[in-house]
Copies of this chain bind each other. A is one copy, B any other.
Amino acid sequence: MTTKTRGGNFFEDFRTGHVFHHAVPRTLTEGDMAVYIALTGDRHPLHCDREFARSLGYDQEVAHDLLVFHIVFGRAVPDVSLNSPANLGYADVRFLAPVYAGDTLRAETEVIGRRETSRPDVGIVWVRTRGFNQRQEPVLQLYRWAMVNKRDPNTRLRRTDDAPELPLRVATEDLHVPPQMDLSQFDNVVTGGQFFWEDYEPGERIIHPQGFTIEDAEHQSATRLYQNNARVHFNEMLQKKSRLGTRIIYGGHIISLCHSISFDGLENAVRLLGFNAGAHANPTVAGDTLFAWSEVLERIDLGRADAGALRLRLVGVKNLDPNEEDVPLRVKDAESGREGYHPNVVLDLDYTVLMPRRR
């Protein structure tokens, strides 16, 4: 037996300042974009209507921002999160240059901090991951922090905490609208949306009508498409012994499904600009039925006449239909008295989209 396989990095292996150059760059193709639609049901026309994309100034239909996110994220898994029981949060996620079929994405990740936790067997690692196309233009940057298993529960970091302070939101000046994009000719017959930037009021809640029951074959196919090889999504034998008792669905797939569900009521949200913050509040497994609502957090003036930014909270809920009953985001635990996410809330994503203004 040999040690030619690496089991991924453990908490002890991360050094603040180290940069991983991740393996297996990936050429995105029309094939990936079709499989993405087959697995998420996404209908945002920038990503499936070549003529519409051209009318906005793009060369052709653009890879879905979340497809780019998952591909970049997937590159980093073997180095960063193979031994991670949970991703804890995202910050300052920015979608930069558009990605077209034929572009090749690679990724690198800098370790930006570590912290011991109250549990001896896990620590927390903060990273900054960046994705680049074949012209070395950045297409995505993200901060995230994850719980990472220790190789040895007895190790302690010498300096136990150099956790960074991360931005609480993407700064308005960092919300990247591609220079070629021009929404002055935006045609809402294409989106089917009746509502524009001015029509969304902070505090407003939009309950999206669709519900998606998720199968193992579906989330596994999505996660494999992204070449994300975290074992917990694929190995039922391993997972049977886990607390959850079965394969856990890749949290990014849940983001994609919720974002697809959110099309009804936010049809004119042309594309994502960034994630401000995000949490996978509870796990999902095959058989769960996923619903979503959106809350309008803020209208952001981008200083342009054709479009503004809309900051939204996208909440995913499993096995309770918010169209039929009120589901609170957070609840107080009866025993501990502590407040936390409602046990059926699975996603709490604070993100920002580009939205055309009324003409």
Contact = CB atoms under 8 A, between A and B. Distances in A.
B289 A237 contact: yes
Given A31-B29, A191-B24, A235-B289, A104 B51 contact: yes
Interface stretch (A35-43, A119-127, A273-281): A35-43
Given A24-B45, A35-B38, A104-B49, A2 B236 contact: no
Given A30-B30, A211-B237, A234-B213, A205 B104 contact: no
A40 B50 CA distance: 26
Interface string A233-244: 011111000000
A224 B40 contact: yes
Given A192-B22, A206-B5, A216-B215, A41 B224 contact: yes
Contact of A5 (B50, B134, B212, B265): B265
A210 interface: yes
A327 to B, nearest CB: 12
A59 to B, nearest CB: 13
A352 interface: no
Interface in A41-81: 41-43, 45, 48-52, 61, 78
Contact of A238 (B211, B216, B223, B225): B211
A35 B266 CA distance: 28
A227 B37 contact: yes
Residue among A24, A206, A231, A319 with the most chain B CB within 10 A? A24
Contact of A319 (B5, B215, B229, B237): B237
Contacts of A319: 237
A134 B265 CA distance: 27
Interface of A: 1-2, 4-7, 21-27, 29-35, 37-43, 45, 48-52, 61, 78, 101-102, 104, 134, 189-195, 199-200, 204-213, 215-218, 220-225, 227, 229, 231, 234-238, 247, 264-267, 287, 289, 319, 321
